Every structure is written in C-alpha cells, then in structure tokens.
A = this chain, B = another copy of it.
Amino acid sequence: MAMIGGGPGAFIGPVHRIAAELDREIELVAGVFSSDPDRSRAGGEAYGLDPARAYGNLADMLAAERARADGAQFVAVVTPNHDHLPSARAALAAGFPVISDKPMTATLEEARALAAAVAEAGLPYALTYTYSGYPLVREARARIADGALGTVRKVVVEYPQGWLAGPATGKQAEWRVDPARAGAGGCIGDIGVHAFQLAEFVTGLRVTELLADLGAVVPGRHLDDDCTVLLRFENGARGVLLASQIEVGELNGLRIRVYGEKGGLVWKQETPNTLTLLRPDGGCEVIRAGTGLLGPDAARRSRTPGGHPEGYLEAFANLYRDFADVLRGQAAPLLPGADEGLRSMAFIDTAVRASAARAGWTPLTL
C-alpha cells in the first residue's frame, strides 16, 4: 500500500496505517505524506519506511512504485477532501486500485467525474466509511435483510459531536470550517454523510427525498455546524438524520435506530459491541459481539471472543480486509465503493442546496 496524505499532525493517516496492517494482509511501503517534500520525508520516517519511498509528489510516487518489482499494489488517499479527486484519478490512471477516505470528493460534480474515472479504469475503488465496518452494524444489516423487522417504517440516525462548539482551532478543526478546503458542507459533509451512509447501509434502502435545515450556530462560522435532515426512503419509510458539532460534551455519539412492522433495533458507536433488538411485546434482546449469535457477515470480521471489546480501529481494519479480498478477486459486497460515494456526495449537495433555498422536500439527485 502507498499512502497519499496522512503526514505529521494528521489523525487519520496513522489510523489508515494501523487498520490496513492489522490483519497482516497489507503493508504500508510508500507514500506522499505531504505536498511539502521535507514533511513527506518526515512522515515516511515516522511510519518507519524506506526513505527512498517517501516521495515529494504523487507523480513521482506512481511512476517509481510502478517500476519496482515490489512496488505498492494500491493507493490509499487520506488527504483533505478537495484533493480526493485529483489524487484518486491520477492513481487510477496509473493503474493503481484506490481506497479513499470519505467523502468521495469535495463536490458532487467532482464525484461524478471520479465515478466516471473509476468506471473507465475498471479498477477497484473503495471508500472508508468506517462505521459500516463494525461487526454489529453488519449484523444489523443482515437481520433487517433477513426480515427480522418486517418492512422498515422509520429510521432515526444521529451523530452528535461537541468539539466545534467553540472557535475552531488546531489542524483538525481549521480545514473543516473552511469552505475552500472542506467543500460546501461543514458538519453535513464531515459527519452527516457518515450518518446518511450508515442509514442506507443498515436498512438496505435508498433515500429518495430529503428536507434539510442546516445551521451555522457558532458566530462567524461560514459552514454548517448543526444539521437536521428529514428523509424519505424508497419504500416510503420515514427518516430523521441529526448531526451536530456544537452539542457540547458529546464525543462521537453516532447511533441508529430502525423500526419495522415487527421489531426495532438500536446500535450505538460508542458502545459498539452490542446490538439491541426491540420486540413488540416490550422485551428487548441484547446481542453481543464475539458470540455465536452473530451471522456470517459479522462473525468473519471479528477477531476476539465475546466480552473482549473491539473498537474503531478494528472496524476500520475490516474495510481493509474487504479491500484485500477484492484485490484477490473475491467479492466484498459490504465494502462501500463509487456508487455509495456518489450517493453520499449527492446527499451533501442536495442537503446544502435545499437548506440554503429553504426548499422543503427535495429529491436526492445523483
């Protein structure tokens, strides 16, 4: 694996590195860790790489790695959003499969261009929507697909955070509130889109219409930091998506509740190793990770026995295992790809536009 981005100070670069290597199927061997060659070299050193393989720019890396017998076999894109398109396109053009941090690109238009590039290249392309890697999220999806809830009627997905409730300071915060680097969406593009992808992933249903009310609560902020989006799914089910980065004291509280005719279920990211099933009789059943209660999708992406918690890094690693399967020619139907990426970008784009126009219910247009 070669990495683009993820140099000194980045949060997500080391996470990709750990996730990719966790199961010993993938090894980070090269990278352009910064657009500044010195910083890129420093990044390579921090990862313990051969200094010759910490490149100063992408073109050099793609050429050099292609030329090596032991060259990288795919590229991971972990740059800020506005760079996702050029980096991924260049890598695909050079013949490298790509796994990219979400969202797919900075704009819907770019996403369309990248989807076309993926189709043209005919190479694997995946997006690390981390939360779809949690075993119990996959279990939830499988149970809904198996009809455990009957027809889905209602979805409530929430993603509360509080870390941008004050002035946005520090590397992680600054680019997220800057329209030039983050794209047209703030909170909606940073975390709202995770909630959207999770809702479609778990229910297996597509959102067809939405009503968005995005707010910029912190004085002086140019991008949304608090989002309410009402959803309609293809089968008529009603949905509510809440995402916020100004809910003081919330850390990373992503959670989803799905209700059908015959039952409901609840999953919460901060206690990810349980899945609660709600029954019409008022009883509820708690399914725990690592037990024999899990179906095959969840079981094959678990590493520890019940009661030994797995977390965020393991969920992330599951996406890389899926990607390794794809590279080996196996199917990985649960791994988000260009379709999910395009849908996600359409969600951000539609929500931003519809909210700005106070447009009421608006179709989700790809």
A interface list, Cβ under 8 A from B: 11, 14-15, 17-18, 21-24, 47-48, 149, 153-154, 156, 160-162, 165-166, 211, 213, 215, 217, 226, 228, 230, 238, 240, 242, 244, 246-253, 257, 259-264, 269-273, 277-288, 290-293, 303-314, 358, 360-361
Q: A251-B291, A283-B286 are in contact. Are A309 and B306 (CB under 8 A)?
A: no
Q: A230-B228, A309-B312 are in contact. Are A282 and B249 (CB under 8 A)?
A: yes
Contacts of A259 in B (CB 8 A): 162, 165, 244, 246-250
How far, in Å, is A331 (CB) from chain B's closest CB? 23
Contacts of A303 in B (CB 8 A): 14-15, 18, 313
A361 to B290, CA, bound (A): 39
14 contacts between A and B (CB under 8 A): A11-B305, A149-B248, A154-B226, A161-B307, A162-B259, A162-B278, A228-B230, A248-B280, A250-B264, A269-B309, A282-B288, A283-B293, A304-B311, A309-B309
Query: A304 near B313 (CB under 8 angstroms)?
Result: yes
A128 to B138, CA, bound (A): 32
Contacts of A238 in B (CB 8 A): 213, 215, 217, 226, 228
A238 to B278, CA, bound (A): 30
Query: A278 near B250 (CB under 8 angstroms)?
Result: yes
Q: A162-B264, A311-B308, A313-B303 are in contact. Are A358 and B361 (CB under 8 A)?
A: yes
A306 to B251, CA, bound (A): 6
A288 to B281, CA, bound (A): 10
Query: A307 near B252 (CB under 8 angstroms)?
Result: yes
How far, in Å, is A299 (CB) from chain B's closest CB? 13
How far, in Å, is A256 (CB) from chain B's closest CB? 13
**A interface, over-half SS:** loop
Name, among A22, A253, A290, A308, the residue most crowded by chain B CB atoms within 10 Å (CB to CB): A308
A162 to B265, CA, bound (A): 12
Q: A238-B226, A283-B286, A310-B313 are in contact. Are A264 and B252 (CB under 8 A)?
A: no
Query: A285 near B282 (CB under 8 angstroms)?
Result: no
| Interface residue from B257, B290, B306, B312 paired with A304 (Cβ < 8 Å) | B312
Contacts of A358 in B (CB 8 A): 360-361
Query: B283 near A287 (CB under 8 angstroms)?
Result: yes
Contacts of A247 in B (CB 8 A): 154, 257, 259, 264
Query: A290 near B230 (CB under 8 angstroms)?
Result: no
Contacts of A215 in B (CB 8 A): 238
A165 to B291, CA, bound (A): 15
A250 to B230, CA, bound (A): 21
A228 to B211, CA, bound (A): 11
Contacts of A230 in B (CB 8 A): 213, 228
How far, in Å, is A272 (CB) from chain B's closest CB? 6
Contacts of A310 in B (CB 8 A): 311-313
How far, in Å, is A303 (CB) from chain B's closest CB? 7
Query: A286 near B287 (CB under 8 angstroms)?
Result: no
Contacts of A314 in B (CB 8 A): 311, 313
Contacts of A253 in B (CB 8 A): 307
14 more contacts with CB within 8 A, not counting A248-B262, A282-B293, A283-B293, are: A162-B278, A162-B280, A165-B259, A166-B280, A213-B230, A228-B240, A244-B259, A248-B261, A248-B263, A248-B278, A249-B277, A249-B280, A250-B278, A282-B291
